Amino acid sequence: MAQTTVKIYTPTTPIWCPGCGDFGVLASLKKALSDLQIKSKDTVIVGGIGCSGSIHNNLECYGIHSLHGRLLPTAVGVKLANPQLTVIAAGGDGDGYAIGAGHFLHTLKKNPSIIYIVMQNGTYGLTKGQPSPTAQVGYEGNVDLPFDAILTALSIPSTTFIARGFSANQAQLTDLMKKAISHSNSNEGMGFLEVLSPCVTYNDTYKEWREQVYDLSTEKDYNPHNRLLAFTRVSEITNQGKIPTGLVYSGRVKSLEENTLSKEKGPLALQDISLESNLPKYEQILNDFR
């Protein structure tokens, strides 16, 4: 809750169909933010386009609804301008892995300290059920094998946090969400969390997914800090027709802010940019024209 007396907007009721996996994501997200005591004034949700991309309307914090596929660059812009914020990009798999696929790869490569939640359901629900990049073969005439974002993320050397949850497993999902947020809020880079979030109307996969999910944490030898072993094990499990969930990988690579931002000056969005405060530096730079 806001701590001042200013009256602000009332979060809306989600637009989702009853039983939609996205309800589980919203519930986990609210719980994670509340458990971690992250202030609403310092939280920015960047929504994508699609059913899941309206999630920013359902919480009380700052929200920006980006263009289709562009939530990641938008979130990176917010974070670079003010790294003190908790920046959470949330959208669907069509948004992230199809129209925004270029940004997906490059944002993983940059490793900004943002959280990226992808609600994947194998379908473009809002436009009534076309196959999305994660659609299973045979769904609505889809002939392509589904895109595996976890293996893709593992193959990019600068990724630092990769996890997969299932909206029907709240305890695990909330735990992963908290871990992802804590990772990013320690400025250690991008917390990437893919959530299996079924579309009950156009691609109801609850039944199949309940049978297929495989919690990596149940495997006592699984080492989420070894990229190569993680890649091998995740591939094996996937090839057995299972869907690995849990913390897949976490590691240490310098974050985008560490590599980019000035340490002394504070958030650039909040700097004093008046002429008077900066005049000596401006005059010094003017000498470059002489």
Q: Residue numbers of the site for other proteins (CB under 8 A)?
A: 2-9, 12, 40-44, 46, 54, 56-57, 60-67, 69-70, 72-82, 84-85, 102-103, 106, 260-262, 264-271, 273-275, 278-279, 281-283, 285-286, 288-290
> Tokens at residue 28, please?
């986990």
Shortest Å distance, C-beta 13 to other proteins: 11
Question: Which residue, 225 or 265, has its beta carbon nearer to other proteins?
Answer: 265
- Least distance (Å) from other proteins to the CB of residue 103? 6
Compute and round to an integer the Cα radius of gyration of the chain: 20
**C-alpha torsion sign, points 51, 168, 242, 158:** positive
- Residue among 86 and 169 whose Cβ is closer to other proteins: 86
**In contact, 52 and 92? CB cutoff 8 Å:** yes
Token digits of residue 127 = 């436009």
Q: Which is nearer to other proteins, 8 or 137 (CB)?
A: 8
Q: Considering the complex, what minimum distance in angstroms separates the CB of residue 2 from other proteins? A: 6
Cα angle for residues 130, 116, 164 (degrees, 5° grid): 75
Tell me whether strands 161-166 and 243-250 are parallel, antiparallel or unpaired. Answer: antiparallel
What is the smallest separation between the CB atom of 111 and other proteins, expressed in angstroms? 13
Taking the complex as a whole, the smallest distance from the CB of residue 45 to other proteins amounts, in Å, to 9
CB 227 within 8 Å of CB 151: no
- The C-alpha atoms of residue 167 and residue 24 are separated, in whole angstroms, by 5
Q: Which is nearer to other proteins, 239 or 287 (CB)?
A: 287
Phi/psi at 197 (5° precision): -140, 85
Nearer to other proteins, 44 or 243 (CB): 44
* Beta carbon nearer to other proteins, 40 or 238: 40
Q: Minimum CB separation from other proteins for residue 173, in Å?
A: 25
Judged by beta carbon, residue 13 or residue 239, the one nearer other proteins is 13
The rounded distance, in Å, linking the Cα atoms of 192 and 194 is: 7
Taking the complex as a whole, how short is the minimal distance between the CB of residue 222 and other proteins, in angstroms? 33
Contact of 173 with 24, CB cutoff 8 Å = yes
Which CB sits closer to other proteins, 230 or 261? 261
Residue 74 to residue 98: CA distance in whole angstroms: 17
**Minimum distance from residue 192 beta carbon to other proteins (Å):** 17
5 burial level (CB within 10 Å; 0-12, 13-18, 19+)? exposed
Kindly report the length of the chain: 290
**In the structure encoding, which two tokens stand for residue 77, read together?**
């812009």
